[in-house]
Amino acid sequence: MPDGPYTMSDHTPDDESPRAQGAAGEFAEVIDKHLDRQRYLDQHWSGSFWEYLGLCEENPSVARHAYQRLYDAIMAQGYEKYRLFKKDVRRYHFFSDPTDHGADAIFGLDFALMQLVDVLRSAAEGYGTDKRILLLHGPVGSSKSTIARLLKKGVEHYSATPEGALYSFSWMLDSHCEATPVEGNPHEALRTHEYHSPMHEDPLILIPRKAREALLAKMNALYKPVHHGGRLRVVGDPDPFSRHVLDNLMSFYAGDWRKCMGHVRVRRIVLSEKDRIGIGTFQPKDEKNQDSTELTGDINYRKIALYGSDSDPRAFNFDGELNIANRGICEFIEVLKLDVAFLYDLLGASQEHTIKPKKFAQTYIDEVILGHTNEPEYKRLQSNEMMEAFRDRTIKIDVPYNIRLDDEIKIYQKDFGPSRITSMHVAPHTLEVAAMWAVLTRLEEPKKAGLTLLQKMKLYNGKSMPGFTEDSVKELKEEAPREGMDGISPRYIQDKISNALVSGQALEEKTINPFMVLNELESGLTHHSLITDEDTKKRYREILSMVKEEYEDIIKGEVQRAISADEDAIKRLCANYIENVRAHTQREKVLNKYTGKDEEPDERLMRAIEEKIDIPDSRKDDFRQEIMNYIGALALDNKKFEYNTNARLYKALELKLFEDSRDTIKLKNLVSSVVDDETQQKIDVVKQRLINQFGYNEVSAVDVLNYVASIFARGDTKSK
């Protein structure tokens, strides 16, 4: 490299460097694959007012109002049906965040989301809920903000598709936004500068009301909504700026409305929060610094000198959150923390769909108003008699925590699953036990005698248990209507899993296991900012002990299956059992292949297997007959009975084989410092099975074997 400053002359130009050209060509090809110029042109279409009327005739859905468009955006992604707690449930794919590859996906809140979508459907139909504020209410960390973000993101994406297209307009006037005659043609006004409609209004709002009603009747006759039965409507008058311009043009053209429309340039718009087009977000600040002009716009003092009055709409910025959210959605973060003056603005914005900018008349808006709040703020609202009008205009939608284990696990898999955590091994059940504890803290103690909290969680998660039907699970749910509104937040769990991932032990071993996470969860309770009640902390610690016991049972079962996973051995045991059962049920004898003599069926063998799945002596004959009938039914269908065909029998065979193998492997010896070579070889086989079949790595497999060995060493032989 030459001495001195580097200049462009020191660098070979791109067109003279084949190497640079080749690299740029490869990269450019990658970029070009993801570019769509035609889509850009479609999304930036512009045309005359009359061309827009032609579009309305071809596709009347371009004139849908905000609630109809949001509801269609949700339904366009489709849904699936399933049953839960004896109710038909819809899972809307929209809330799985398909537009952003699941980055904001929501799991397990299908009942709350169904209620929200039902409200939007009602509003789309025009049944009155379009005149309400939607209030998402729930504990901290229950996905309220995520739901709001998904609605904003989803309607943005939908407006960029051909099905979700919508249009606004601009005025073509002179540099002072006035109707100035063209030189040499006093009957025609200049069109040198473009002024966008500040509130992104539908061009149809420029049509006089009487003519508009007749036009909408024709459009509704052509309109065939896919997802709802609502009708098209365009209500109100243009915003003050457009009204001022239209009045000036009507004066210039002596009332010729058609000539005025010659100054209108219709353009397609794509809703965008970043560009402040149809998506608004308001977050409360310090009460002393709050100003309602942030919602409804403010005077542009620099333009007063130009236009001569602060009541001239051209000297006003219609850029408040409620202004720019017109045609889309406005989110109010922690809405109940708003100053009372702000809430007054929301009363008219929701019920009458109007706002009152300073020094101007009521202005029509078309938007979904969505707020969210936590429970303490909502209780304060309920106790405030002065806020009765606000409560009356609010539809509350409860957004609880998950109470289904599988759904809670998915939350943590999204952040800590194999696709995200690549440098660290997350041992099996690590996320499961964290999710289990979180869900258990949210459940109420069951009132049914003999039912534990852990069993209740399993029933909610879809597990079958003797003595419990769909009806009884539904009753359990109905007797605890507030379940999910209290308990541990997913954020706390995520924080503690993160702590475990960066702990010294994890960084050294490149592995985290359930006990590391459970220890983090327990130690964090001492300084938890939201849990100050000692009784609550005590209950949560008791639940942690419950989860540890459940985890012990899980890993004991896995080690048992790993030890008894010798397929040849389990096949031989199964064949021996079936041969003895066949002889017993048919009152025959069994040929002893060693002695060559016929002998009575081996009752000890049969009972040793049957006892593993709690078949009492009084039921043994019935169970054996069931097995033979099952084998016979399979034979009629030309199917072969295998050792793993019947789940109950397979479990019994596994447990029997484990019991026989346990003494051979001498698992207890693992906790001693001396293990003979033969035992070590057998232990290595079991360890490899844990790695191959259950997802452990070398470190976590050894940890689990050691822990299970210590359980058996202390004489704990309880099996699930």
511 plus 568 within the same structural domain:
no
557 plus 569 within the same structural domain:
no
Check residue 662 and give its pLDDT: 61
Question: Residue 611 domain-assigned?
Answer: yes
Amino acid of residue 696:
Y
CA nearest to 573, candidates 621, 606, 530: 606
CA nearest to 490, candidates 539, 431, 444: 431
Tokens of 128: 């009155």
DSSP lists the bridge partners of residue 265 as: 48, 170
Task: Determine the structural domain holding residue 590 and report its residue range.
Answer: 564-658
What is the dihedral sign for C-alpha 374, 379, 382, 387? negative
Let me know: does 514 contact 430? Beta carbons within 8 Å.
Answer: yes
State the burial class of residue 5 (Cβ atoms within 10 Å of its Cβ: 0-12, 13-18, 19+): exposed
Which of 625, 658, 691 corresponds to the end of one domain? 658
84-88, 142-146, 664-668: least confidently modelled range: 664-668
Check residue 241 and give its pLDDT: 96
Q: What is the mean pLDDT of residues 59-70?
A: 96
Check residue 672 and give its pLDDT: 52
Tokens 């003494």 sit at which residue? Answer: 663
CA angle in degrees (0–180, nearest 5) for 110-114-120: 145
Tokens of 431: 């996320």
* pLDDT band at 31; cut points 50, 70, 90: confident
Residues in the chain: 720
Identify the three-state secondary structure at position 195.
strand
Check residue 496 and give its pLDDT: 95
Which of 526, 561, 596 corresponds to the end of one domain? 561
CA nearest to 279, candidates 339, 349, 326, 226: 326
CA nearest to 324, candidates 408, 161, 198, 472: 198
Question: pTM for the whole thing?
Answer: 0.85
435 plus 544 within the same structural domain:
yes
Q: What is the mean pLDDT of residues 94-108?
A: 93
Q: Are strands 316-317 and 298-299 parallel, antiparallel or unpaired?
A: antiparallel
Check residue 491 and give its pLDDT: 94
Question: Residue 131 domain-assigned?
Answer: no
Q: Is 60 a residue whose pLDDT tops 90?
A: yes
429 plus 536 within the same structural domain:
yes
109-113, 163-167, 197-201, 655-659: least confidently modelled range: 655-659
441 plus 544 within the same structural domain:
yes
Cα–Cα separations (whole angstroms), residue 319 to 27, 296, 333, 403, 569: 40, 7, 18, 42, 77
Task: Give the residue with greater pLDDT, 116 vs 19.
Answer: 116
Let me know: does 173 contact 263? Beta carbons within 8 Å.
Answer: yes
Cα–Cα separations (whole angstroms), residue 477 to 38, 85, 310, 396: 53, 8, 60, 21
Q: What is the mean pLDDT of the chain?
A: 88
Check residue 9 and give its pLDDT: 46
Check residue 720 and give its pLDDT: 40
Let me know: does 148 contact 370? Beta carbons within 8 Å.
Answer: yes
266-270, 557-561, 575-579: least confidently modelled range: 557-561
550 plus 600 within the same structural domain:
no
Check residue 443 and give its pLDDT: 96
Question: Residue 350 domain-assigned?
Answer: no
List pLDDT tens digits, range 191-244. 999 999 999 999 999 999 999 999 999 999 999 999 988 999 999 999 999 999
Amino acid of residue 302:
R
Q: What is the mean pLDDT of residues 390-418?
A: 94
Let me know: does 564 contact 655? Beta carbons within 8 Å.
Answer: yes
Rg of the chain taking only CA atoms, in angstroms: 35
Could you tell me the maximum CA-CA distance found in the chain, to the nearest angstrom?
A: 125
475 plus 548 within the same structural domain:
yes
Question: Residue 439 domain-assigned?
Answer: yes
Check residue 289 and give its pLDDT: 65
427 plus 439 within the same structural domain:
yes
Check residue 196 and give its pLDDT: 97
Task: Give the residue with greater pLDDT, 612 vs 396.
Answer: 396
621 plus 588 within the same structural domain:
yes
Question: Residue 219 domain-assigned?
Answer: no
Q: What is the mean pLDDT of residues 575-586?
A: 90
503 plus 575 within the same structural domain:
no
Question: Residue 465 domain-assigned?
Answer: yes
Three-state SS across 212-261? HHHHHHHHHHHCCCCCCCCCCCCCCCCCHHHHHHHHHHHHHCCCCHHHHH
Which of 506, 529, 561 corresponds to the end of one domain? 561
Can you say how many angstroms the Cα of residue 18 is from the centroid of all Cα atoms in its chain?
Answer: 49
Can you say how many angstroms the Cα of residue 358 is from the centroid of all Cα atoms in its chain?
Answer: 40
Question: Residue 43 domain-assigned?
Answer: no
483 plus 606 within the same structural domain:
no
Q: Give percent of the chain with pLDDT exceeding 90.
A: 61
H or E element, residue 188: strand 185-189
497 plus 609 within the same structural domain:
no
Let me know: does 197 contact 111? Beta carbons within 8 Å.
Answer: no
Check residue 663 and give its pLDDT: 56
Check residue 104 and give its pLDDT: 93
Q: What is the mean pLDDT of residues 273-300?
A: 86
Q: Is 28 a residue whose pLDDT tops 90?
A: no
Q: What are phi and psi of 599, to 5 degrees?
A: -130, 165
Cα–Cα separations (whole angstroms), residue 91 to 96, 164, 483: 9, 22, 20
Q: Is 380 a residue whose pLDDT tops 50?
A: yes
Q: Is 20 a residue whose pLDDT tops 60?
A: no
Question: Residue 309 domain-assigned?
Answer: no
Can you say how many angstroms the Cα of residue 92 is from the centroid of all Cα atoms in its chain?
Answer: 10
CA nearest to 586, candidates 627, 636, 618: 627
Check residue 658 and give its pLDDT: 76
Let me know: does 370 contact 329? Beta carbons within 8 Å.
Answer: yes
Check residue 6 and give its pLDDT: 43
Structurally, how many domains does the chain consist of?
2
Let me know: does 190 contact 263? Beta carbons within 8 Å.
Answer: no
Three-state SS across 117-169? HHHHHHHHHCCCHHHCEEEEECCCCCCHHHHHHHHHHHHHHHHCCCCCCEEEE
Check residue 671 and give its pLDDT: 47
Let me know: does 606 contact 581? Beta carbons within 8 Å.
Answer: yes
Check residue 12 and give its pLDDT: 47
Q: Is 408 a residue whose pLDDT tops 90?
A: yes
Q: Is 420 a residue whose pLDDT tops 90?
A: no
Helices (H) and strands (E) counted in the chain, each on its own, are: 29, 21
List pLDDT tens digits, range 615-649. 899 999 999 998 899 888 888 888 888 878 888 88
Let me know: does 444 contact 401? Beta carbons within 8 Å.
Answer: no
| Residues 6 or more apart in contact with residue 691 via CB below 8 angstroms | 697, 698, 701
Q: Are strands 279-282 and 329-332 parallel, antiparallel or unpaired?
A: parallel
Check residue 647 and give its pLDDT: 81
